[in-house]
Structure 1
Amino acid sequence: MPTSEQRRYAYALLMTLAVSSSASAVELTAGDWKFTANGNVNVHYIASQCEEETTPGITGGLACRGAAGEDKSSSISNGLLPAAIAFGASTTQNGYDLAVTFGFYPGISTNDGSPNLQQGAELLNTGLGTTGLDIRQVFLTFGNERMGTFLMGRNIGLFQADAILNDMTLPGVGAGNGNYATPSNTSLGSIGLGYIYTDWLAQIDYTTPDLGGFKLSIGIFDPLEPIVQDPTLPAPPEKEPGVHGKISYTRGAIYLSASAIAQKHNGNTDAQDFDSFGFDVGGKVTLGDLEVLGWYYQGKGVGTTALFLFSDDRNGHERDSDGFLAQVTYKFNDLKLGVNYGESNLDLADGELPSDLVKTNKKYTAGAYYSLTKNLTLLAEFTDTKAEAHDGTENDSSNFNIGAYLSF
């Protein structure tokens, strides 16, 4: 049988932790192998009230702005998660637990390119389009309860993973991420508004067995280039892999964790080289129907919103960043009410002059999540998002969403 760590990875964390921890919807046995499948479909009506387009924009600001004279927009879209289906196979051979996972994540919004990188496209939603497919998970695991577990392949990263996995907006929408006249595959939730997106990385990791409630994971990942670079000067390839790690502790109703990430970046010249390092720390406490949680992160050369976005000034000078997410939820039988607040800050590099670069993105979300059945959740959320630039420019937007999340 797979170890608990293999199950944690193999059964699509972003789906199962959002709504339920039930076993896979489909389990088939063929010889010594067990095959599983599970997933979700989520659909939301999202109405956005964006900042007036006459107000100056903010580079990296996450409050949406109007376009073509219209400040309001609406969409029928996925939320923070795309739809998903994950297939797994596992067996035990010679005392080792072996498993593989393939995770496929389609959206429902028209998007002919990358579901992630095409956000904010200039073209409006038209007929004759199709949705995109995001293949986030392709990995293997091997190990046992005595030696621990190795994971090799593409899967969710370790840095900031707990923040997003415990975000109450995971089955919902949170921050709407833009004017929905040009919808993208997913919303933001609290990404860039309390934590940096952990992302899905090609990686090789090792996780220890349970050590009295403690678990330690450490590994390397395929290095990432900074997202914002000089387009006329392609950067040389990174020389070394990135490194990430995580330690967690579970005792009864208490869960604590800390994670870290580090990577060296090679610029076009030696002077443009820079190093990135970030860490987070946080936890949650569950007292009956009440759950309280918080995570804080800090980084140098890590950037904001996405890994290594606006991480330096393109001259090798790192920008510092930090932020936090705080959340309280309470269950009344099948109804869960919650509120969370998140804030992400980005400092200027040494010697950098004030500009329209984002200084702070922050938001709050109030949500209601009703479990109509064990697998079907009906929900409604309201989110207000504010962005401020280093030159003092401010943008404000809000969005309301109502929808359903069905896991299987």
Structure 2
Amino acid sequence: MKLSKLVMAMLGGVCVAGAGSAQAASWEAGDWTLGLGGNINAFYTVTSCDSGDLNAGGTTLARLACGSATNTDNHSVSNGLLPASLNFSAKTRQDGYDLGANINVYYGLTSQGGAGSDALAFSTVDARQIYLTFGNANMGTITMGRNFGLFALDAILNDISLIGSGPTFTADDPGHTTLGGLGYGYPYTDRLAQINWTLPTSGGFSATIGVFNPLDGVESGGGKAAGNANPGFHGKVGYNWEGSTPGMISATYLVQDVDLTTGASSQIEGWDIFGKVSIDNFGLAGYYFQGDGMSTLALGGLVFPGFNQATGQAEESNGYYLQGTYQFGKTKLGLNWGESEQKKVSPVENRRVTLGVYHNLTSSLTLMAEYSDMESKTSVGSDDTSAFNLGAILFF
């Protein structure tokens, strides 16, 4: 199995045609088939910041280039866009229904608070996915639990830096994971408590609709879940085709009501479209999104707010990326250009270019090198960051 397909199968139970199981090991336990798999990755990264007109650690939180760094090179050993993970699954068929359970736990390499933390600090552990599934060919599949959201999911799954690193969060502190293209073309899909119904696939067409626990759009950092008079709603439609030029296209929509500190009500709303196609050894992919009440990086929270806390004005954001790849033998070359823009609450433009080389040393181990150039622009000026990383990811 190709590693790109393995990653897509692992994240959120999302399977592409022919991907198969994400677990390298499986065994029978009574009526159940149990699976165990995961990944470990590590990257040596050198970042260089030119804080330019904005100065390091400036007032615009949405500005991603440089972050808290000064004009110097910074070295780190850390995870890439994916944390390390341990993924457990169980499945069976009972009374005409396919049942499944998934518990996926993710682990950070760097100590809590980043690479510069105290020597005796602990790394992070994050249970991102805990969900059950049931269904059959006639009814489709119900998914219930904590899982990745639908919005922007295909964008991150198909980013060349998904198994790599791409841009770091800040030049001097890689944190739990890097950004990849988050904030540079697409927002984070987030980990949501949700209940979804995926309809039976027909002729390459697929569709999922569901509800999710609403996010706090103003008051809490990190997209904290918050009670609301109504749930959040999201949906996705897609079409896959095979043949001499296989590919796919998908579109998603997300909306939820938000109660603001001003006493008014508003909405978080967004839509996106993704497409990709393969032509011989070449691959092309493109993505675009628009959002109201969300930043270019996240769906909600104080750190990257979707609303002005004083006036209640909603953020307006949009972004896109274009990506090309070329496969020769066990090696793939990739180039990704992505841009995101916020227009109202924290006006900023973030741009990223990543060039990567990815070599499958074995069917489970990929070695890679990436170079990324990032720029953030506001009305004041711009900051620039470059990052070079060497690393590997092992799937088991």
The question of a shared fold, defined as TM-score above 0.5 by the shorter chain, is answered with: yes
**CA contact under 8 A between 2:51 and 2:66: conserved in structure 1?**
no
Over 3 Å counting, the alpha-carbon distance change for 1:235 and 1:222 in structure 2 is: closer
Structure-1 separation of matches of 2:47 and 2:137: 48
**CA contact under 8 A between 1:42 and 1:83: conserved in structure 2?**
yes
**CA contact under 8 A between 1:11 and 1:38: conserved in structure 2?**
no
> Unaligned regions of 5+ residues in structure 2, if any?
none
Structure-1 separation of matches of 2:141 and 2:390: 40
Equivalent residue number for residue 290 of structure 1 = 282
Structure-2 separation of matches of 1:66 and 1:269: 31
Structure 1 residue 241, shift from structure 2 partner = 1.1
AA partner of residue 63 (structure 1): A
Once the two structures are superposed, residues 266-293 of structure 1 have per-residue CA deviations (whole angstroms, 9 ceiling, x without a partner) of 012433x211210001210011211100
Over 3 Å counting, the alpha-carbon distance change for 1:9 and 1:194 in structure 2 is: closer
**CA contact under 8 A between 2:8 and 2:15: conserved in structure 1?**
no
Once the two structures are superposed, residues 217-268 of structure 1 have per-residue CA deviations (whole angstroms, 9 ceiling, x without a partner) of 01000111125669xxx99842211111100101110200000110110012
**CA contact under 8 A between 1:175 and 1:188: conserved in structure 2?**
yes
Over 3 Å counting, the alpha-carbon distance change for 1:34 and 1:235 in structure 2 is: closer
Structure-2 separation of matches of 1:359 and 1:9: 32
AA partner of residue 183 (structure 2): G
Over 3 Å counting, the alpha-carbon distance change for 1:236 and 1:267 in structure 2 is: farther
Query: Counterpart of 2:312 in 1: which secondary structure?
Result: coil
CA RMSD of aligned residues (A): 2.6
Structure-2 separation of matches of 1:306 and 1:166: 18
Equivalent residue number for residue 98 of structure 2 = 97
AA partner of residue 261 (structure 2): N
Q: Find out whether 1:374 has 2:369 as its counterpart.
A: no
Aligned to 2:350, which of 342, 353, 361?
A: 361
**CA contact under 8 A between 1:11 and 1:88: conserved in structure 2?**
no
Structure-2 separation of matches of 1:236 and 1:186: 25
Runs of 4 or more above 6 Å deviation? 7-10, 14-18
Equivalent residue number for residue 388 of structure 2 = 400
Over 3 Å counting, the alpha-carbon distance change for 1:286 and 1:401 in structure 2 is: same
Structure 1 residue 66, shift from structure 2 partner = 5.7
Q: Find out whether 1:303 has 2:302 as its counterpart.
A: no
Over 3 Å counting, the alpha-carbon distance change for 1:8 and 1:149 in structure 2 is: farther
**1:57-206 superposed matches below 5 A:** 57=58, 58-65=60-67, 67=69, 71-111=72-112, 124-180=116-172, 182-206=173-197
Over 3 Å counting, the alpha-carbon distance change for 1:50 and 1:190 in structure 2 is: same
**1:207-218 superposed matches below 5 A:** 207-218=198-209
Structure-2 separation of matches of 1:341 and 1:17: 26
Over 3 Å counting, the alpha-carbon distance change for 1:245 and 1:338 in structure 2 is: same
Over 3 Å counting, the alpha-carbon distance change for 1:179 and 1:365 in structure 2 is: same
Structure-2 separation of matches of 1:303 and 1:385: 18
Structure-2 separation of matches of 1:362 and 1:17: 30
Q: Find out whether 1:259 has 2:252 as its counterpart.
A: yes
**CA contact under 8 A between 2:131 and 2:144: conserved in structure 1?**
yes
Query: Counterpart of 1:12 in 2: which secondary structure?
Result: helix
Query: Counterpart of 1:212 in 2: which secondary structure?
Result: coil
Equivalent residue number for residue 240 of structure 1 = 230
AA partner of residue 27 (structure 2): L
**CA contact under 8 A between 1:15 and 1:40: conserved in structure 2?**
no
Equivalent residue number for residue 12 of structure 1 = 10
Structure-1 separation of matches of 2:136 and 2:15: 23
Structure-1 separation of matches of 2:267 and 2:212: 15
**CA contact under 8 A between 2:218 and 2:260: conserved in structure 1?**
no
Question: Identity of paired residues, percent?
Answer: 38
AA partner of residue 49 (structure 1): S
Structure-1 separation of matches of 2:131 and 2:14: 18
Over 3 Å counting, the alpha-carbon distance change for 1:301 and 1:53 in structure 2 is: same
Equivalent residue number for residue 339 of structure 2 = 343
Once the two structures are superposed, residues 181-206 of structure 1 have per-residue CA deviations (whole angstroms, 9 ceiling, x without a partner) of x3311000000100010011100000
Q: Find out whether 1:250 has 2:246 as its counterpart.
A: no
TM-score normalized by the length of structure 1: 0.87
- How many correspondences in the alignment? 378
Structure 1 residue 129, shift from structure 2 partner = 1.1
Query: Counterpart of 1:41 in 2: which secondary structure?
Result: strand
Equivalent residue number for residue 354 of structure 1 = none
Structure-2 separation of matches of 1:228 and 1:174: 30
Q: Find out whether 1:28 has 2:64 as its counterpart.
A: no
Once the two structures are superposed, residues 42-78 of structure 1 have per-residue CA deviations (whole angstroms, 9 ceiling, x without a partner) of 00000000134884323311102464x6521010000
**CA contact under 8 A between 2:143 and 2:195: conserved in structure 1?**
yes
Structure-1 separation of matches of 2:225 and 2:111: 32
Query: Counterpart of 2:274 in 1: which secondary structure?
Result: strand
Over 3 Å counting, the alpha-carbon distance change for 1:372 and 1:152 in structure 2 is: same
Over 3 Å counting, the alpha-carbon distance change for 1:237 and 1:170 in structure 2 is: same
Structure-2 separation of matches of 1:303 and 1:65: 16
**CA contact under 8 A between 2:50 and 2:385: conserved in structure 1?**
yes
